[in-house]
Amino acid sequence: MLISITLRNLEVEIGVPDTEATILSELNKFEYLSPPLKKNRLIPKSIANTKAIFDFPRLLNINIVASIIIVSIREIIMIKLDSFSSFFIANWKLHGNLNFIDEFLDKIQMPNDISKCIVVCPTSIYLDTLSQKKKKFFIGAQNVSQYEDGAYTGEISSNSLRDFKIDFCIVGHSERRQIFYEKNGEINLKSFQLIKDGIIPIVCVGETLEEKKQGRTNEVLENQLKESMSDSSNSSNTIIAYEPVWAIGTGLTPSYEEIESTHKFIRENNKKFNNFKILYGGSVKSSNSKEIVALPNVDGALIGGASINLDEFKKIIED
């Protein structure tokens, strides 16, 4: 029998033996224990007289308590976003290998300022290697499956990311939207899966150059946010990244005023987003990162190209 309980917003299933036969087989496992204890409160009479230790209510309690602890730990270990004043997310895209990881670890000192949250997102195959070698920074994935489990060849579930202690995951990056035709609905489901598993989705939104020229930036962002944000998203479990598509990898950036006003628009567009961490991404480099991150409505940066240029990345995150 599976008992399903809902704890905060997480559903937990607890397995409980439901037939006399199951109980009997459980009892047999305990028969070697001594001294034998008999508990006949909930155990059928025929079984209660056997030399076995089987305390059904106790077992059930232990199961419930263990499940509560596991779920609570998952919630507790979800990174507390409010404890950081700024975020620097390094998106390595399809770059990097084992040598590069060693070079990165040799060369990059994490800032003394512990209010800066540094997250490094390598390709999936290197997540575990980096996670095992990392010091004082967090690991993020670049993508996740919208599905929890099943016949989906080539996918990686949020559950398995959690097993490898991955704390963040980029979703809806414009390269995934444009090259892999990812839609808002899928991004929404991916965010849902991540939040369920205690991983923080970094949801990317941004307009194309054409949309910008048509003066549709705010309309596009509003729609992307409405459709790609999971109902379970809130300011403690999700980050928003504003990444104008035309600024990614091009060396072009909006003016500081434009970045600030777009971030303000996102924050005020829906009261749900008032307290969200909102990062800027698109050609961030050492010569503009300080000014961008200092803008009142900018909480950090998502850095692509400059994150694999180690001299550049070092300058971006330094104190």
Task: Name the residues annotated as catalytic.
Answer: 173, 243
Q: How far is CA 246 from CA 18, 170, 174, 218, in A?
A: 59, 19, 10, 15
Sign of the torsion formed by the C-alpha atoms of 196, 197, 199 and 202: negative
Kindly state whether residue 172 participates in binding ligand PEP, applying the rule CB under 6 A.
no
Q: What angle do CA 235, 240, 243 make, to 5 degrees?
A: 165
Kindly state whether residue 197 participates in binding ligand PEP, applying the rule CB under 6 A.
no
- 8 Å CB contact between 279 and 121: no
By CB under 6 A, what part of segment 284-303 binds ligand PEP?
Answer: 284, 302-303
Nearest distance from residue 160's CB to ligand PEP, in Å? 23
Kindly state whether residue 278 participates in binding ligand PEP, applying the rule CB under 6 A.
no
By CB under 6 A, what part of segment 209-268 binds ligand PEP?
Answer: 243, 248-249
Element holding 205 (H helix, E strand): strand 200-205
Query: Of 140 and 198, which CB lies nearer to ligand PEP in the complex structure?
Result: 140
- 8 Å CB contact between 288 and 295: no
Radius of gyration of the chain, Cα coordinates, nearest whole angstrom: 24
Q: Which of residues 198, 206, 281, 300 is near ligand PEP by CB under 6 A? A: 281
Kindly state whether residue 17 participates in binding ligand PEP, applying the rule CB under 6 A.
no
Q: Which of residues 54, 87, 88, 91 is near ligand PEP by CB under 6 A? A: 91
Q: How many residues bind ligand PEP (CB under 6 A)?
A: 15
Residues in contact with ligand PEP by CB under 6 A are 91, 93, 173, 243, 248-249, 281-284, 302-306
